Amino acid sequence: MIIEKSSARRSRKRAALAFVLLSAIAAVSLPAAARQGPKPAFEERGSLSQARPPVEARGNWMHEYVQLRLAAQNLRYAIGPMTEYEMQQTITPKIVGGTVAGANDNPFQVGLLTKSVASNFDAQFCGGTLVKANVIVTAAHCSDFVTAGQVQVLTGTRNLDGTGTRRDVVSIAIHPNWNPNTFDYDVAVWTLSSSTSGIPFASLASADPAVGTNLLVTGWGALTEGGSFPIDLRKATVPLVSATNCNDRNSYNGAITARMICAGFDRGGVDSCQGDSGGPLTQGSVLTGIVSWGNGCARRNKFGVYSRVSNASIRSFIVAQAGL
């Protein structure tokens, strides 16, 4: 009798779960989803414990879609054998433990909202950064499945409690080289229908800080693994990681391109490490990265991955689209 090793069983589970996640993404992302209302979260089957996936039910199909595609991306680049607990953490959406953000912590942070959902908390599905009075920068993976008429941008608030101003969007530009399979060139520029006033803008990085430099990430991401999402904007500090470290065999094994940077902790297991998709990673008022993907808190040597704003192709795209 041949007994299957536990690592092989876990690899099969991971492959099966990736297939289910990708299938769910395809179902949720159909244009009909917007017409038919929110899709129910799927249930894992068989050996995957009948557990529900890490998708918080807000009645918002855009929020669900972003979480599912991130889960699939993170699982795709999970290297080596994993316990079921590690697998669950790997597919969990971005996490912010940290503390409540102050007025001067990334004051240019905005929220991306589903226009048809009245509550700001329920409507929010991604983050973004104000770089001009009527222009924000966010992630392509928050942008390639919506139209300008389906979304709004929340400005002028640190909370999802009904305060702030919801602004319509007139155009969405996605980097022409955006690759949804690898998350390369994960950047988009949204133009608003009206201009903000009294809100600082972020400037764009032209070079990366030194490795080990502490950077600030903010967002309305989950407070704990698989846990609730906050109304107050949260902040966390993470050190910049070298591309060599992030790209080695025990991290992302070559998946990190020149358009990506990494930040986080080698030891893993840290609650404060990631923000919302599309949100800012900053050094002072300089936008250094855009929250993209990565296992973040889940495992040792698994860092948060951000679009690298200093990269010539990323930066020039933002400058051209924003008219900076």
The answer to whether 10 and 78 are in contact (CB under 8 A) is no
- pTM for the model stands at 0.83
Neighbouring CB atoms inside 10 A of 246's CB total 24
257-308 pLDDT tens trace: 999 999 988 776 555 566 789 999 999 999 999 999 987 555 667 788 999 9
pLDDT of residue 55: 43
Please tell me whether residues 293 and 156 are part of one structural domain.
Answer: no
Residue 271 host element (H or E): none
Query: Structure tokens of 106?
Result: 């990334």
Q: In the annotation, is 277 catalytic? A: yes
pLDDT under 70: residue ranges of the chain:
1-58, 78-97, 223-228, 268-274, 296-300
Q: Rounded to an integer, what distance in angstroms lies between the CA atom of residue 201 and that of residue 309?
A: 15
pLDDT of residue 138: 98
Is the residue at 32 inside a domain?
A: yes
Q: Give the model's pLDDT for residue 297.
A: 58
If residue 110 lies in a helix (H) or strand (E), which one and from where to where? strand 109-114
Annotated catalytic residue, options 29, 63, 141, 184? 141
Picking from 90, 123, 155, the residue at the C-terminal end of a domain is 90
Q: State residue 205's pLDDT score.
A: 98
- Structural domain span for residue 30: 6-90
pLDDT score for 294: 84
d(CA 109, CA 218): 8
Q: How many domains does the chain have?
A: 3
Position 288 in a domain: yes
- Of 184, 58, 75, which is closest to residue 118 (Cα–Cα)? 58
Catalytic residue from among 186, 208, 276, 292: 186
**Residues 192 and 318 both lie in one domain:** yes
Looking at the fold, whether 168 and 244 belong to one and the same domain comes out as no
Closest CA to 272 of 64, 107, 123, 101: 101
User: What's the length of the chain?
Assistant: 324
The answer on 247 and 212 residing in a single domain is yes
Residue 283 maps to a domain: yes
